[in-house]
Amino acid sequence: MSRRKQKLLRLNHEEAENVKVKVDVDKCIGAGLCVLAAPRVFAQNDETGLVIVLQEYPEPDEQEAVREAARLCPALVISFEE
Amino acid sequence: MSNKEVVIVGTGQAGYQVAVSLRSLGFQGHVRLVGDDPHLPYQRPPLSKAFLAGACDKAKITFQNESFYLKHDIELIRGRKIVSIDRPTRTVVTEDLARMQYDHLVLAVGARPRPMPRHPFISAGLHELRSLSDAETLRAALDESRHVVIVGGGFLGLEFAAVAAAEGKAVTVIETSVQLMGRAVSAQVAAAFRKHHEERGVSFLLGDSVNVILNSDSHVTGIRTEQGRLLDADLVVVCAGVVPNVDLAEKAGLKVDNGIVVDACLRTADTAISALGDCASFPSRFSIGRCRPESIQNAMDQARHVAQRLVSGVESVFDVVPWFWSDQAGLKLQIAGLNHGVDHTIVCGDVEARRFSVYGFRQNRLVTVESVASPADHLAGRRLLATGTAVTPLEVGTPCDAGVPVESFHAKPG
């Protein structure tokens, strides 16, 4: 199998394992609760305070923190694609 | 003082946050979280937005399931009303006469909807919107309705109006003041939101109020206003503000004044009792006199502050910049600071495009920033207000150019 094909297979496998985090930035009001809950996955834009996703496919050990962040967000900005 | 038993009255966001923060700060004592709401603690802001619109379900706005409270040893007692506080014995009493001992009592009892004057009773077709139960009832009623009348043009009423209009209902908002969102926002911000709503089919009757509620078979059919307007209405929602729940504290001999009175550290005069969130008024460098900001941020920040004090035993002044947000039909409003005593404003940005901020000054000092679709202004404003730096107007009465950063205002140290 070619190297490129191996790499693609590996990526697909990773994506299947991990859930994709989506944020509706238009709704974000910069409360920052997501950053408190999952600082390795979410950050705030330094100028606007709006959410930035650091890991679009969070590591498995981040999943619980990410779900917590989604529940805490007062504007319900965070959702998942599974 | 030993804080082995903490009782938190009120299972709203503030009460929930106190319990969670106590545990995350390593509190080892008994934590009892008790309130009359039958639901697991939930998010309140979505009740007038996504939840009301049917875009999310109860699970999505519930903070945690039962197992979380068990896991973190938080005794959650739902649907139980506390009816009195026996301060000498440090116990609270429930309506079924159970007694709960406390070493420290946190009152997070929130506020309740102000009833319409002269129409204090809710009947079929007449609704309030405060709790999850209210929102569930309203969501179902909204589906069935065609003519919605909203009494009160404040933040809650306008968020509800946005949802109802988006669902194609005929929506009218009746407001006693001549301006939307009352004294909480500037005229420019109120005007921008009014246009935004009118473009989406919402009608406004300002400077007016409900005179008669017309009924047929005990169900609302219409409204006649003070100014003589007659409106069809099969759904009437009263969004006329909230009143803090002070009865429990007042009966126990604690001082109340637009809320349960606490000091800058959020303590009542009783060293074993704190109060916070929508029910409590406190002195703040951001206000003239006491304030009681009705905002989620205030509730959560105060909850963390009180939990910190209970765990560390160290008293500190609650000094967080008050801030607030509202989302109405996709138009975002963020407010930093409080507009008490504002005597001068400067508008920055593009008012026509509804992307602007209004800077409010009191005696030449910046005290509030209202931002419409301008999160960068909001964040900069919040940071400036937090530092306590005196920011004076660049030039009295001159609007500044779009995009001029707040730091360019002349800033004096201290």
CA A46 to chain B, closest CA, distance in angstroms equals 9
pLDDT score, position B395: 42
The whole-number average pLDDT for the span B201-223 is 93
Question: Is position A46 within any domain?
Answer: yes
pLDDT score, position A6: 60
CA A12 to chain B, closest CA, distance in angstroms equals 29
Name the closest residue on chain B to residue A50, using Cα atoms.
B375
* Closest Cβ opposite residue B43 in set A28, A29, A74: A74
Contact residues on chain B for A71, CB-CB shorter than 8 A:
43, 60, 62-64
pLDDT score, position B283: 97
* Closest Cβ opposite residue A49 in set B300, B327, B379: B379
pLDDT score, position A1: 61
pLDDT score, position A13: 47
Residues B306-332: pLDDT tens digits? Answer: 999 999 999 999 999 999 999 999 999
Q: Between chains, do B50 and A74 touch, taking CB under 8 Å as contact?
A: no
pLDDT score, position B392: 81
Residues B105-154: pLDDT tens digits? Answer: 999 999 999 987 667 665 788 999 999 999 999 999 999 999 999 999 99
CA A74 to chain B, closest CA, distance in angstroms equals 6
- Counting the structural domains of chain A, the total is 1
Q: Between chains, do A76 and B379 touch, taking CB under 8 Å as contact?
A: no
CA B43 to chain A, closest CA, distance in angstroms equals 7
Question: Is position A1 within any domain?
Answer: no
Question: Is position A11 within any domain?
Answer: no
Q: Between chains, do B45 and A71 touch, taking CB under 8 Å as contact?
A: no
Residues B154-166: pLDDT tens digits? Answer: 999 999 999 999 9
Query: Domain residues for A40?
Result: 19-81
Picking from A11-15, B261-265, B296-300, B361-365, which range would have the lowest pLDDT averaged per residue? A11-15
Give the confidence band of B237 by pLDDT, cuts at 50, 70, 90.
Answer: very high
Q: Between chains, do B334 and A50 touch, taking CB under 8 Å as contact?
A: no
Residues B43-81: pLDDT tens digits? Answer: 999 999 999 999 999 999 999 999 999 999 999 999 999
The whole-number average pLDDT for the span B11-34 is 97
The whole-number average pLDDT for the span B90-96 is 97
Size of interface A-B (CB pairs under 8 A): 50
**What are the angstrom distances between the C-alpha of B337 and each of B72, B93, B389, B402?**
35, 38, 13, 22
| ipTM surpasses cut 0.95 | no
Question: Is position A34 within any domain?
Answer: yes
Q: Is the pLDDT of residue B15 over 80?
A: yes
Name the closest residue on chain B to residue A24, using Cα atoms.
B330
* Closest Cβ opposite residue B376 in set A26, A47, A72: A47
Whether A82 contacts chain B with CB within 8 A: no
pLDDT score, position B390: 80
Quick one: residue B5, left, alpha or beta (phi over 0 = left, psi -120 to 50 = alpha)?
Answer: beta
CA A28 to chain B, closest CA, distance in angstroms equals 9
The whole-number average pLDDT for the span B203-217 is 93
Residues B272-303: pLDDT tens digits? Answer: 999 999 999 999 999 999 999 999 999 999 99
Q: Between chains, do B56 and A72 touch, taking CB under 8 Å as contact?
A: no
B263-270: list long-range contacts, CB under 8 Å, 24+ apart: B264/B317, B264/B318, B265/B309, B265/B315, B265/B316, B265/B317, B265/B318, B266/B302, B266/B305, B266/B306, B266/B309, B266/B318, B267/B315, B268/B107, B270/B87
Could you tell me which residue, B391 or B255, shows the higher pLDDT?
Answer: B255
pLDDT score, position B397: 40
Contact residues on chain A for B50, CB-CB shorter than 8 A:
76
Q: Between chains, do B379 and A29 touch, taking CB under 8 Å as contact?
A: no
CA B376 to chain A, closest CA, distance in angstroms equals 4
* Closest Cβ opposite residue B376 in set A27, A31, A48: A48
Low-confidence stretches of chain A (pLDDT < 50) are 12-16
Question: Is position A65 within any domain?
Answer: yes
Query: Which of B24, B42, B43 best probes binding to A when mutated, by most A CB atoms within 10 angstroms?
Result: B43
Interface of A with B in 1-60 (CB under 8 A): 26-31, 33, 47-50
Could you tell me which residue, B369 or B409, shows the higher pLDDT?
Answer: B369
CA A80 to chain B, closest CA, distance in angstroms equals 12
Q: Between chains, do A76 and B297 touch, taking CB under 8 Å as contact?
A: no
pLDDT score, position A3: 65
Name the closest residue on chain A to residue B61, using Cα atoms.
A71
- Which has the closest alpha carbon to B81: B35, B130, B31? B35
Query: Which of A35, A46, A47, A76 best probes binding to B when mutated, by most B CB atoms within 10 angstroms?
Result: A76
% of residues, chain B, pLDDT over 70: 93
**Which domains occur in chain B, in start order?**
5-112+243-312 (3.50.50.60), 126-238 (3.50.50.60), 341-412 (3.30.390.30)
pLDDT score, position B120: 62
Question: Is position A10 within any domain?
Answer: no
Question: Is position A2 within any domain?
Answer: no
Give the confidence band of B34 by pLDDT, cuts at 50, 70, 90.
Answer: very high
- Residue A25's domain is classified under what CATH number? 3.30.70.20
pLDDT score, position B182: 85
Q: Is the pLDDT of residue B189 over 70?
A: yes
Q: Between chains, do A76 and B50 touch, taking CB under 8 Å as contact?
A: yes
Contact residues on chain B for A50, CB-CB shorter than 8 A:
375
Query: Which of A71, A77, A78, A80 best probes binding to B when mutated, by most B CB atoms within 10 angstroms?
Result: A71
